[in-house]
Structure 1
Amino acid sequence: MAILSSAASLVNKAVSSSSRAQLRTIATILFVDASGIDGQLLKPPAPDPEPEPEMEDSPGSLQKSLSQRLSRRVNISDLENYVRMALQSGELQRQHALFARGQTQPWDYGRLPENKSKNRYGNLVAYDRTRVVLKKLPGDEFSDYINANYIDGYKADKFYIATQGPRPTTVVDFWRMVWQEQVSVIAMLANVIENGKKKCEQYWPELGKEETHGAVTILTADVSVFADFTFRHFNVSCKSKKRKVSHLHFTSWPDHGVPFYPQSVAAYLKKLLLTPRGTGPILVHCSAGVGRTGTIILADICLRMAAAEGAVDILGFQQSMREQRPNMVDNLEQYKLVHLVLLECLVEEPSSYPCDDTLPQLINMLNESGTLYKQFKRLQEVQWLDQALKPPSGAQVDKARIPQPTNKDRCSNIIPGYNGRVYLTRYPLEDTTSDYINAVSVDGFRTKDQFIVTQFPLNNTVGDFWRLVLEKNIPLIVVLNEIDMSDKSLSMCEFRPLADQPLTPVPYLTVRLKQQSHNAIWSVITYQLTDTSVTTGLPQQQIVRMLQLSGWQANCDLPPNVNTLLQLWQEVERLYSGKCPILVTCL
């Protein structure tokens, strides 16, 4: 559980108490470092566009930059209302439309024949004025070019480097740049492979391994994996000199989109904020180095401004970035995301608490003061935030992917959303609805899609339930309710095999009870699944355990003893192999 930063107030602006608390936290992260390292804060990512087909320059194709300086300063106390109204009125769309895509500054050097192959995308080239100039290698006149630009920060020149994901032929240049510019923090916002396409070369070795690129040697010393990001520490050396580099890799940014919720980006930013940047720029890259890269840099700049002035100017800094590298914050959804992430960081109440001996006392205080109730009520008040990044009603989306209430749903108002829905293989193939099950994927703290949550099976969905277990290779089913077959009002059905009676939920699948054990808190039942649909002709067998909690009746909101949930969680940890999803179900 994350630990909240405590801080003295460094901001004297008139803002709300919750905003003031957030600003204190950010200001502390930014300026509390007494070691001489320039403590600074770091921000979120946004998705790369699929670059347009490369086009040759034609007379008059070089667009002029906006001649007037743009600005829209918003005090933090007004930020929530401003963002809400700007989304509803289309103001953010009008602002983003002020910046034309494509070239607005000379980029002649990067378009030279000797340098053209160094650009991942031919229509995204480093501007001449702000490009990072590498020291030339002996005998190579053009070895000073890399597709990277300096980006100014909040009252700080060249605070960032925005660059593309390295190509196989530019990995050496990438590490030359890291060493030359004394980079201590690399923020990576793309995956090596996305939707089957290579988006970036893996320029680092696996844990405990060492690689040498040119004169620079990299050792991956440490790796920490979480649901939305992976943090690595590199030991980097060159000519007997050694440095440490932090690699903060956001791994859950969907290709051609934005993260489903800004909270994941905010959590990544907090880690980024706590990572000392040393004396060099923060290096930020995705694939093209403009969309996701621009989003994280823009949010970071605004958070630094908020800590210093109690206000943000997203529009003004967006203009500045576009003058230093093309297409920064490439699309409208990324521009919206910046605003939502700033709300999450600056306005929303903190909801993480220290997991230590003071936690029980803290929880009692939060409950008695009404804070927990206010937090729960706040979730309803900000439902508009959850809709902000969803496709508009008139947008072209796959209507077939948006489920409608069916006879497979226990409750017509509880159906899977557009994102996170779990799909089954069609069976039978001609039944276009047979891929549907009322289930969604849920992230764990360290593992993406660690859980699948579903309803208790109905008579007509028992086959779907066990197909889900088989297809997703579920090792553990957690049942949170007592199963009372005598209560006809609950539409209960027997979806488990009996000791002497195997279950055949679909023709190719048989489920057998193998063993069971019981105690006062739960039961553990082991089943064997036999799948005869495999093309090898040999039945495939799978073992799955069911952990059923005792005593929690279907008509009760809470279990009889809250401590049993902690004991249940500990048993889940013991039984879980950590490879495939855990299936969790209740009425």
Structure 2
Amino acid sequence: MKCAHCRLVWIIPSEARAPSRAPLSLNATNVHCNLTILSWQPLLALHCSEWISPFSHYSVQWVESEDCSKGSYDQENTSLEPVLNISFPRPFADYCVRVSQVNVGNNTGPYSQEVHVKSPQCPPGRVLNLTAFVGLIIAQLSWNEPHSTNGIINNYTVLISTSSSSVRNLSTRNKIININELLPNTEYTFSVAAVNEGGIGQLSTIMMRTRSIESIRTMNISWTLNEVTVTWYRPVSTIITNIIINYAINEEFGNVILINNDTTRHWSHSVTIGDKYKYSISIAAGVYTNNTLINGNFTNLNGCHGNCGHGNCSHGNCNTSIPLYLWIGVGVGLAIIIIIIRRIILIIITVVWRKRCQMEASGREILLPMITRKKTGKAPYLLSTTKDINAAKGDDIVLKLCVGGEPRPDVTWFFNNQIIGDDEHYEMSEEDNTLLIHDILPMHAGVYNYTASNLLKSISGQIRVFIEKGRVEEEEEDGIMEAESDMTDHTPKIVFEGNYVKLSEFADHIELLNKSNGGKGFKSEFQRLQNFGHLFSTEVANCSENKKRNRFKTILPYDNNLLTLRPISSRGDCSHSYINASYIDGYKKKHQFIATQGPLPQTLVDFWRLIWQEDICCILMMLSITSDGGIVRCQQYWPDAIGVAAFYGPFKIIVEGINDNKVSEERIIKLSMTSSSSSDNSHKTIHHYLFKCWPDHGVPATPTSTHSFYEQIKMWLDLPPPVLIHCSGGIGVTGMLISIMIGIEQGLSTGGVDVMAIVNKMRSQRMNMIQTEEQYQFVHYVLLEAFYTIGKESITPSNLQLIVKRLGKHDEILNMNRYEAHYKALQVLTVKPNSVLRNFGLSNLPLVRSDLYLPPDEYRVVLNKKTEDFIHASYINGYQEARSFIVAESPTKLTAANFWSMIVKNKCSVIVMLCDIVEMEVDTCYQYWPATYDSERHFDFYRIKHHEMNIDNYYTQTILRVLDTQAGEEQTIILIQLPLSNIVSDELSHTERVGILSAIQEIEKIQRKTGNNPILVHCSDTVSRSGVFCVLYTSIQQMKIEQQVNIYEILYNMRTCKPGLITTPVQYKMVYLLLMRYVEEFEAYGNFEGQKKDTESIYND
């Protein structure tokens, strides 16, 4: 095409050329769900000589993919404007977008550089499989994630309501929630919705009614000369808190509220010595909920005692009718109460009506001008304000704000999303809108927001306040990481809020965070880390030349702590100086770590330049190359196999060795590195640790693997070169690992740790180190395991006695012995008995002795999948077999038939009974077997016959023949009776110690003969005696086969199946002492390598 006289008159030849240039600066802005605005810079006017036809429209193409070279592009044509409102097909998905210009000849020019766009999040769909278990005053809701999350689920909103109450709103990040303080026998509506940045999803709703308070079952009423006593059955539910008694005996009336406990089963009342009584006694169970005592239905006892003729109250002096004067008194009292209530209601109605009238009148005065008069004046505008302030602790500072507008704007100040009011530190001036902060403390550091608004508009802004180090900071107070820590400060002089905790209090500190603020203690503390946002400039990382070298546009290194690459002469690919990496200081060592992102294809050479320049000899890679969904999270930067070489710019990399640990999913690669630009032909050896067990989202299930990984790599921390650590963005998992390493060094050096100050310090050197509350909490858990589980290493026959002595010694720093420390760590790190799904147990409370340790639904013993008959029993995994044990509650008369059904269906050959029938005058086990030779007992379809009994010095062994009359099958079962009654008081007699070890030997023989079916173990609470037995039995098995055992890990793993197993540190210690006695006395020397013969037992040490 050609123009005449360079005027805008176009002549279109038959063969017009396509535009020769592509549009520039393609940009995407997400507005809301289903709306993204694409914009770009239009081409400048073309010179006449370019011979292209006039511009017709733009062509925009996109494809859903992280790799722009894959997939086929969709296309949409736009108007002449360089902007397009687009609705991508899928929310929160990765798209590649490009744009080109098209002329009237329908010739398409070159496309612009592809831009990666993440489509906006939309509200999620409904949560799936919403289920609810409701008890008396509690409910447990559980659900699954929506099928369509449409983004990242931040939390779930839970709404609770009744037909007569206001809606109660709760929030949780888990997919299970326990709801307390409900009312008994009440219909509740529970609704759950998922929430992401796109908004709140659709509600899933379920309606359930809470259980009614059980009625009291009375047993007897008895009389003596001067006392009447009522006896009743104790309520089955342990949630019942009180017993309420109303009584009328002769003409004496009263009300008694008793605390419900094991001894509250009777009530006595003094009476005058005589022979004639009429009585009316009512008893009900009660429960406190929401600070109110709610009672169930009353059970009534009415009658006479004395000369009234067999309880007949129709004659004699025992007339039970209420006297007339009592009726008159009650009537007058009720009338007075009704009058008082009516007066109060009238007063309230009058006050409310007057207030409403005043508000309406006031509202008319304000609203009428707005209706009748056009808005006039000026919207608020900012004249001047204070810039960011650096202050010292104890200073008085003024945040000035000068705004204009007509009418005069109202100004409100906020800190931590809370409106600031006058208190001892804050003072606000209504005249000039300034905020005065007196005696400033580190807790006042952060971002202060303000809003100024009038009838026309509202404006807002912020001022940041930093606390500089001063001489007063040497004091050990206010939880600041100063005197307690020797961390060297290499960033601008800013002191961040912290919370230094002694190691002896660290476990209790974590438990407090887990329980405080409604279970949101960690969330509250983590949010305090967010106050400062991005502290410093990131201009270098944000410049146009370097943007392509950043994996994420929101994760950038600060200019003042940027690692700068030195250019390599004569190498064009090594001429720039930028890499997305930051120096991180250790506890005492400057630049101990380098935190960086996972390399991109275009930064592979830069990555190896960094390693060569900084003399790196250890790389910690905290992710796998691809996610579970196949997304590339890091470009592989080493060869695939031993002996294979790969070249990255001037660097040659060869794999010299690979060591895989399949259990922990760790891989150690030994790399050799040389540089063609080096004049001395020197080479470096680099150890590359690939830690693959981190999930795509969240944290590992337990802290053990992370702590073990630290133990492997801690030797590199003492060497001069920095340790290079990276994940995908270089802030989340990388921040966690660095926090753990610094925290462990601080704890071992000072006897305390300040996680908050450590994280704040890191965040001043690289933005947003540790990204989520869950990661912040996990750091605490790993540190707890590191400090509290020293000595949990594997035990061998040769070092067992030495380790037992070490564990029993008092640790001055922790202020406890190591047995107690291990147990405290287990209490914090293992799942709590009441935090797992146990709906079947809670639905069958009449069938259990106690609801403290109900079986988790996942591991409970199922008797019949169709009828879901319940038994209080759980499977527990052993050494080499899953479901090696069934741990059960000792049966009652109601559960004896189910108890035998469980034994037969699981083909158990051995029953280990660890309690007596009666202990301390309390029934602890129903006799479920025939007591004498050749006698029988029947339970449903099962006929139990006593075949033989052997009484040992330490335990009783009974052989039972069990016939399943329905299936026509018979089996032999050995009952081992070994009542370890002293475990409850944390002590074992000599007979019990020898008895349990002898019994284990006998059980091992039986199991070898009968096929290693589950061993049934039962006691009264399912966790104390049964816990010691199962952990000891498994430890002995492992020691025999592997010549080593880790008791801590055995108990840790068993608590997954049975939360709460082993209830005291002394019971935990018993396992070690019993194992040592077994090694010393019960096994031949040849079975244990390196065992010392004739060693003196230290059981009583």
TM bin, normalised by shorter chain, reads 0.5 to 0.7
Deviation at 1:241, TM superposition (A): 2.2
Query: What secondary structure sits across from 1:304 in the alignment?
Result: helix
> Is 1:565 matched up with 2:1050?
no
CA distance in 1, matches of 2:544, 2:703: 41
Kept in 1: contact 2:625–2:634 (CA 8 A)? yes
CA distance in 2, matches of 1:115, 1:209: 35
- 5 Å-filtered alignment, 1:302-313, equals 302-313=743-754
Indicate which of 397, 400, 405 corresponds to 2:840: 405
Are the equivalent residues in 2 in contact too, given 1:205–1:218 (CA < 8 A)?
yes
1:85 aligns with 2:518: no
Task: Report the AA paired with residue 96 of structure 1.
Answer: F
Distance 1:108 1:554, change over 3 A: same
Deviation at 1:384, TM superposition (A): 5.0
Percent of pairs identical after alignment? 24
Taking structure 2 as the reference length, the TM-score comes to 0.33
Aligned equivalents of 2:810 and 2:587: distance in 1? 38
Residue 549 and residue 173 in structure 1: after superposition, are their counterparts in 2 closer, same or farther (change >3 A)?
same
**1:194 match: secondary structure:** coil
**Count of residue correspondences:** 431
Task: State the match for 1:352 in structure 2.
Answer: 793
Matching of residue 281 in structure 1 with residue 757 in structure 2: no
2:653 matches 1:217? yes
Give 1:241-320 correspondences, 5 Å limit.
241-275=682-716, 278-320=719-761
Give the drift of 1:223.
0.8
- Greater relative contact order (Cα 8 A, min sep 6): structure 1 or 2? 1
> 2:591 aligns to what SS in structure 1?
strand
SS of aligned partner of 2:775: helix
Distance 1:490 1:231 in 2: 54
Q: 8 Å contact 1:206–1:220 — kept in the other structure?
A: no
The match for 1:227 among 641, 644, 663 is 663
- Following superposition, the deviation at residue 486 of structure 1 comes to 8.5
Aligned-residue offset at 1:299:
1.9
In the alignment, is residue 205 of structure 1 matched against residue 611 of structure 2? no
**Residues 621 and 688 in structure 2, CA contact (< 8 A), matched pair in contact too:** yes
SS at match of 1:216: strand
For the 8 Å contact 1:232–1:248, the answer to whether it is kept is: yes
Distance 1:83 1:568 in 2: 37
- After superposition, the Cα gap between the structure-2 partners of 1:255 and 1:460, relative to the gap in structure 1 and judged at 3 Å, is farther
* C-alpha displacement of 1:312: 2.4
**1:98 matched residue in structure 2:** 528
Name the SS of the counterpart of 1:243 in structure 2.
strand
Matched, 1:386 2:829: yes
Distance 1:170 1:568, change over 3 A: same
For the residue of structure 1 that corresponds to 2:559, the secondary structure is coil
Change in Cα spacing, 1:360 to 1:343, as seen in structure 2 (3 Å) is: closer
- 1:169-568 to 2 correspondence within 5 Å? 169-196=602-629, 197-214=631-648, 215-239=651-675, 240-275=681-716, 278-353=719-794, 355=796, 358-362=798-802, 381-382=824-825, 384-386=827-829, 404-405=839-840, 548-549=1011-1012, 557=1029, 565-566=1037-1038
Shift of 1:237: 1.9
In 2, the alpha carbon distance for the partners of 1:80 and 1:563 equals 27
The answer as to whether partners of 1:102 and 1:123 remain within 8 angstroms in 2 is: no
Deviations 1:148-193 (A, max 9, x none): 1111112322111011122233222222211211112222222222
Deviations 1:212-258 (A, max 9, x none): 24213131413141533414141322133232222233322222212
Q: 1:333 to 1:276 in 2, by over 3 A?
A: closer
SS of residue matched to 2:713: helix
Deviations 1:481-534 (A, max 9, x none): 6699987999999xxxx9xxxxxxxxxxxxxxxxxxxx978779xxxxxxxxxx
Contact 2:671 2:688 (8 Å CA) reproduced: no
Q: Is the 8 A contact 2:707 2:786 kept in 1?
A: yes
Say yes or no: does 1:107 pair with 2:538. yes
Distance 1:363 1:213, change over 3 A: same
Alignment of 1:98-137 (within 5 A): 98-100=528-530, 103-137=534-568
Q: Distance in 2 between matches of 1:87 and 1:96?
A: 13
Give, in whole Å, the separation in 2 of the partners of 1:349 and 1:567: 20
Structure 1 SS opposite 2:561: coil
SS of corresponding position for 2:551: coil
Q: Which one has the bigger strand percentage?
A: 2
Instruction: Point out the more displaced range, 130-139 or 71-80.
Output: 71-80
Which consecutive residues of structure 1, in runs of 5 or more, have no partner in the other structure? Answer: 1-48, 54-59, 394-400, 429-437, 445-449, 466-478, 499-518, 525-546, 571-584
| Aligned equivalents of 2:774, 2:1016: Cα separation in 1 | 44
Matched AA of 2:659: V
Q: Which residue of 2 aligns with 1:501?
A: none
Residue number in structure 2 paired with 1:139: 572
Letter of the structure 2 residue corresponding to residue 200 of structure 1: C
Q: 1:324 to 1:188 in 2, by over 3 A?
A: same
Task: Report if the CA contact (8 A) 2:620-2:689 is conserved.
Answer: yes
Larger radius of gyration: 2
Over 3 Å counting, the alpha-carbon distance change for 1:351 and 1:145 in structure 2 is same
3-state SS in 2 of match to 1:232: strand
Change in Cα spacing, 1:314 to 1:417, as seen in structure 2 (3 Å) is farther
Report the RMSD for the aligned CA atoms in angstroms: 5.4
Q: SS at 2:706's partner residue? A: helix
Q: Distance in 1 between matches of 2:760 and 2:1039?
A: 54
Q: Is the 8 A contact 2:910 2:1015 kept in 1?
A: yes
Per-residue CA deviations over 1:265-308 (Å, capped at 9, x if unaligned) read 22221112134653211111111110111111122122222333
Deviation at 1:205, TM superposition (A): 3.2
Q: Distance in 2 between matches of 1:318 and 1:198?
A: 28
Is the CA contact (8 Å cut-off) linking 1:165 and 1:288 kept in structure 2?
yes
